[in-house]
Structure 1
Amino acid sequence: MYLDTFTHQHLFKMEEHKKRIIKAIRYIDNHLEDDLSLEKIAEIGMYSSFHFHRIFKLITGETLQNYIIRKKTEKSAFYLSVKKDMKMKEIYLDLGFSNHSVFSKTFKKYYGMAPSAFRNSAPETFHKILQISGKNGHVDTVFSQYICHVENLLKWTKMNLKIEVKELPEMNLASVMSLGVAHVESSFNVLIEWAKNKHLFPRDNVKMISVYHDSFKVTPADKVRIHACMLLDEKLEEQNGVVFSETTDAGKYIVGSGECTLDDFEQCWVSLFLWMNEHHYSMRKSFPFEIYHSNFKEHPEGKMQVDFCIPIH
């Protein structure tokens, strides 16, 4: 009896810690250009600075400072890749780097090359960024070509995706955060259980959505932040920390629609970003997302109908 009570209390405390850390992470990611001192973030998470530092590392696997620097650097790499019209100075100042020297040193430490070299090498051929261990234990950044010939990718896109530029409305979502691609399915399970208790699932034409707050091009798969979401008719008012309200921006999007397997997803995204560059669009400061119109588990070949959506100017 005592053991059961202890276990229940321990799980309750861990769940409460998780809610607070999610709140802190969401604040960090939405305020990368602001003051992100330990004291400020600890206050957001309702902890003392000492306890927050320890709990944050326990739950995320990295220190708060490392997380902030990584997010700033990854976001800058993403802008360098897809926002060709954005000046270097605008990028690093927008993300809170004090000057070009600090930005360049930090970027080079993380990716092994200067930001200017990265911009010139990364986006044009749509290489996938990989980090591999060097002989002496250091990390070397290398670019491996995802598809050898652009023509083949464009041909694949034409055969497998219907691509349109369209206006999409604002969407009200119930969301559960996933840190790492391996945890997305469990996040959807948490969301569905919550929706069942609210009598929101199952229902006709329910739409499940994944919102990508990081790019696989610049963030390791085990650290990518993905929100498992459900489309709601109205904005979610009641929130419990694990399930929270999120809103996608209304506006212009590149929408690639097709039936594909999970293994096709990366190729679909690469195709769309290439199409975006080929047609001289640039990405808005918003998040891309996937809308699922069917369940791959119910298809004999594991296929699902998906809309891949990129916010653009």
Structure 2
Amino acid sequence: MNKEKLVNQSINYIMEHLNDDLSLDTIVAHLYISKFYFSRIFKEVTGESIYSFVKRCKIDQSAIDIKLNPEKTITDIGLDYGYSSSNYSTVFKKKLKTSPSTFKESLPVQSMSSPFIPEQTVHFKSYEEYNALIEVQEFDDLPVLCERFIGNYIDLEKNWYQFLDKNKNLLSAETILVERFFNDPSISNSSQCISDICMTVPNDYNSDNLELIEGGKWIVYPYTGEIKNIFETLQGIFSIWLPQSGYTMEQRYGLNIYHQIDRDCHHVVMDLCIPIK
């Protein structure tokens, strides 16, 4: 297995176990490789040490938990990620430039600055408006061809077109185009956001880049509009609908499923999907 695939597998494992003990020994035991080799290739592929990556992802995910669980105390959320109360506040403030209590007091919000266009303010709909369009669906497992990108989500449109052009011989009327996203760009550093661009392929297709998108229960919101406005809609679902919905987000990636893409108009028809339990 090549080193990029090993690192990607480790990232998948880390993102699904952020509130578990994620020592180097734990991670390499899951991968069955040497911790010295793994530490070296992880830094080589990501530009970041495994310790720094896990610490950053824990704090980012804890901020999402504060956003989605307003009834939960900051102390309990910190404990979920292995921090004492005072240590959690210190690490959180160092990473996100605000204390967890100040962050919580700023929620919920009806609008925010776009992380992609800071001078642009995005405005959210009401819980009732989101709820009128959201459905809960059961998804089957989906084998896909994937490419991972770590960087600014604003580059996803360009990355998608390059991916589709490179694999155009695999496209058919039955192809499903799926994007996995692991970060909230209003919280995570924009240059460190993780995403996977994926497509279903014929059954006889073999590649080292084939992966399985796990099924389960998802909320599905139909979106039709410009690519630049996807962030506004997703943030509205996260900030307004989900905390009031009674559902709990499962700790893994979200999905964007594309049905139509108009390159010239930068317009899409798609489903925005969040895993729940």
Q: Aligned match of 1:248 in 205, 215, 220?
A: 215
Change (3 A) 1:190 1:101: same
Higher relative contact order (CA 8 A, sep 6+): 2
Match of 1:295 in 2: 261
Root mean square deviation of aligned Cα: 3.6
Answer whether contact 1:179 1:226 (CA < 8 A) is retained: yes
Match of 2:47 in 1: 61
Q: Which stretch has the larger CA shift, 28-37 or 106-115? A: 28-37
Match of 1:179 in 2: 150
Match of 2:73 in 1: 87
Match of 1:229 in 2: 198
Instruction: Report the Cα distance in structure 2 between the residues aligned to 1:48 and 1:274, rounded to whole angstroms.
Output: 41
Q: CA deviation at 1:294?
A: 0.7
Q: Deviations over 1:65-113 (max 9, x none)?
A: 1100000000001111122233334322322x14212211211111222
Answer whether contact 2:217 2:275 (CA < 8 A) is retained: no
Instruction: Give the greater-gyration-radius structure (CA).
Output: 1
Change (3 A) 1:185 1:172: farther
1:129-140 aligned at under 5 Å gives the runs: none
Q: CA deviation at 1:163?
A: 4.8
Instruction: Report the Cα distance in structure 2 between the residues aligned to 1:192 and 1:309, rounded to whole angstroms.
Output: 25
Match of 1:265 in 2: 230
Q: TM-score, normalised by structure 2?
A: 0.79
Instruction: Report the Cα distance in structure 1 between the residues aligned to 2:79 and 2:250, rounded to whole angstroms.
Output: 15
% of aligned pairs identical?
A: 21
Answer whether contact 1:126 1:274 (CA < 8 A) is retained: no
Letter in 2 for 1:85: E
Find out whether 1:305 has 2:272 as its counterpart.
Answer: no
Change (3 A) 1:191 1:34: farther
Q: CA deviation at 1:262?
A: 1.6
Answer whether contact 2:226 2:266 (CA < 8 A) is retained: yes
Match of 2:19 in 1: 33
Change (3 A) 1:36 1:184: farther
Change (3 A) 1:278 1:294: same
Instruction: Report the Cα distance in structure 2 between the residues aligned to 1:129 and 1:105, rounded to whole angstroms.
Output: 26
Instruction: Report the Cα distance in structure 1 between the residues aligned to 2:61 and 2:20, rounded to whole angstroms.
Output: 14
Q: TM-score, normalised by structure 1?
A: 0.71
1:105-254 aligned at under 5 Å gives the runs: 105-128=90-113, 146-147=121-122, 153-154=124-125, 163-173=132-142, 174=144, 175-180=146-151, 181=153, 182=155, 186=159, 201-230=170-199, 240=208, 242-251=209-218, 253=219
Match of 1:4 in 2: none
Answer whether contact 1:210 1:289 (CA < 8 A) is retained: yes
Count of residue pairs the alignment pairs up: 269
Q: CA deviation at 1:121?
A: 1.1
Instruction: Report the Cα distance in structure 2 between the residues aligned to 1:168 and 1:16, rounded to whole angstroms.
Output: 35
Answer whether contact 2:108 2:240 (CA < 8 A) is retained: no
Answer whether contact 1:284 1:311 (CA < 8 A) is retained: yes
Q: CA deviation at 1:274?
A: 4.7
Change (3 A) 1:256 1:275: farther
Match of 1:101 in 2: 86
Q: Deviations over 1:118-168 (max 9, x none)?
A: 1111433443586xxxxxxxxxxxx98834xx5xx439x97xx99523121
Unaligned runs of 5+ in 2: none
Change (3 A) 1:39 1:183: farther
Instruction: Report the Cα distance in structure 1 between the residues aligned to 2:168 and 2:76, rounded to whole angstroms.
Output: 42
